[in-house]
C-alpha cells in the first residue's frame, strides 16, 4: 500500500470568515473568558498596557462591542488583529477604558470641595491636586475653575493623568462640543459657581474653548494606576468613577498609590457609589464627608 503523505494530500482548512452584519458573536461562557484573559496578557506583553485586573463583568460587554466594531466573531480573532495591527490596538483603548466625563458631574461633590476642602487647602503655601484617570479632562478643568474662584489657583498645580493618549489630547486642548455646555453650566451653578461658566470659555465653530490661563495650572500626563508609581506629593486626589473599572486587587493598588502620594491629612475624593471599605486601606483613611465620598488620610 503506497504511503500517503499527509502534508501533500490534506486540504487546507478554510480561513475564518470576517464577521458579517447579523452574524452571532461568540457566546458568553468559559471560552470567551479564557480568550479574554489571553487577549489581556497579549496586550500587556506587547503594548505594556495592563488591563488584566479590570473588572470583568463590564469589560466583557465592552469587548463584545469591540468585536462588532472590528468585525471579529471571537475574542481570539480580535486578539489577532490587536497584536498585529497597532492601529487596532489604539482603537481598542476606548473599549478597554470608559471615556465618559462631564464638567461638575455630581455637583454636590464639587460644592463640597469648594466649601469644605478648599478652605483647608488654602492654609497651605502651595497646593497640588491629582486628578487620576482624568479621561478627556472635564473634571480637571472643573477643579481649576473652583480653585480659581476661591483664589487658590495662582498657587496650585493640578496633575491630570490618564493612560489614553487620545483622551489626554482632548483634555489638554480643553475644547468641548458646545452642545454639552448647557449641561455643564447647570452643574457649575449647582456646584456653587460664583459667576457664569461662559467666563471661562470662548465659543467658536460649535466648540467651547477653555481659557488658557486655567491650563497654565494643569499638567497633563500619561500615568497608569496599574503599572506606574507615585510621582509627586499632593494634597488632594480626585479619582471618581475610575475604581469601579478595577478588580479588588487593582483597586487596592490604586488606593495604595493615592495613600503614598497624599501628604499627611490629605484628601481623597472618589465616586458617589465607590468606597474604601472593601480595600486594605480602609483604616488608613477617615470619612471626611460621607455623602460626598471625600476621605482624609489618617
**Binding interface with another protein (CB under 8 A):** 27-28, 55-58, 60-62, 98, 100, 241, 243-245, 247-248, 251, 271-275, 277-278
Q: Residue 131 Cβ, how far from another protein at the closest point, in Å?
A: 16
40: nearest Cα among 86, 97, 79: 79
Nearer to another protein, 60 or 296 (CB): 60
Q: Residue 243 Cβ, how far from another protein at the closest point, in Å?
A: 7
3-state secondary structure labels for all residues of 69-134: HCCCCCHHHHHHHHHHCHHHHHHHHHHHCCCCCCCCCCHHHHHHHHHHHHHHHCCCCCEEEEEECC
Nearer to another protein, 272 or 286 (CB): 272
DSSP structural state of residue 228: -
Nearer to another protein, 32 or 159 (CB): 32
Nearer to another protein, 98 or 173 (CB): 98
Q: Helix or strand or coil: residue 260? A: helix
Nearer to another protein, 99 or 221 (CB): 99
3-state helix, strand, coil in the chain (%, to 5): 45, 20, 35
Q: Residue 168 Cβ, how far from another protein at the closest point, in Å?
A: 19
220: nearest Cα among 287, 289, 157: 157
Q: Residue 273 Cβ, how far from another protein at the closest point, in Å?
A: 5
Q: Residue 122 Cβ, how far from another protein at the closest point, in Å?
A: 29
Amino acid at each position: 500500500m503506497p504511503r500517503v503523505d499527509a502534508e501533500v494530500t490534506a486540504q487546507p482548512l478554510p480561513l475564518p470568515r470576517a464577521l458579517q452584519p447579523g452574524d452571532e458573536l461568540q457566546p458568553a461562557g468559559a471560552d470567551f473568558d479564557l480568550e479574554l484573559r489571553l487577549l489581556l496578557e497579549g496586550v500587556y506583553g506587547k503594548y505594556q498596557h495592563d488591563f488584566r485586573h479590570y473588572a470583568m463583568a463590564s469589560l466583557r460587554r465592552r469587548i463584545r462591542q469591540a468585536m462588532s466594531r472590528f468585525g471579529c466573531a471571537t475574542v481570539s480573532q480580535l486578539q489577532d488583529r490587536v497584536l498585529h495591527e497597532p492601529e487596532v490596538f489604539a482603537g481598542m483603548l476606548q473599549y478597554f477604558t470608559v471615556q465618559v466625563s462631564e464638567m461638575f458631574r455630581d455637583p454636590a461633590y464639587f460644592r463640597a470641595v469648594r466649601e469644605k476642602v478648599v478652605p483647608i487647602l488654602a492654609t497651605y503655601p502651595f497646593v497640588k491636586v491629582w486628578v487620576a484617570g482624568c479621561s478627556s479632562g472635564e473634571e480637571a478643568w472643573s477643579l481649576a475653575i473652583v480653585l480659581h474662584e476661591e483664589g487658590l489657583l495662582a498657587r496650585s498645580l493640578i496633575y491630570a493623568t490618564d493612560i489614553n493618549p487620545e483622551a489626554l489630547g482632548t483634555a489638554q486642548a480643553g475644547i468641548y462640543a458646545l452642545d454639552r455646555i448647557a449641561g455643564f453650566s447647570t452643574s457649575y451653578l449647582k456646584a456653587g459657581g460664583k459667576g457664569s461658566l461662559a467666563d471661562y470659555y470662548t465659543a467658536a465653530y460649535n466648540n467651547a474653548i477653555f481659557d488658557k490661563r486655567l491650563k497654565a495650572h494643569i499638567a497633563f500626563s500619561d500615568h497608569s494606576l496599574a503599572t506606574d508609581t507615585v510621582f509627586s506629593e499632593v494634597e488632594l486626589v480626585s479619582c471618581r468613577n475610575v475604581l469601579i473599572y478595577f478588580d479588588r486587587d487593582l483597586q487596592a493598588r490604586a488606593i495604595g498609590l493615592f495613600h503614598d502620594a497624599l501628604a499627611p491629612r490629605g484628601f481623597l475624593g472618589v465616586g458617589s457609589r465607590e468606597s474604601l471599605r472593601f480595600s486594605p486601606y480602609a483604616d488608613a483613611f477617615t470619612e471626611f464627608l460621607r455623602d460626598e465620598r471625600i476621605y482624609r488620610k489618617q
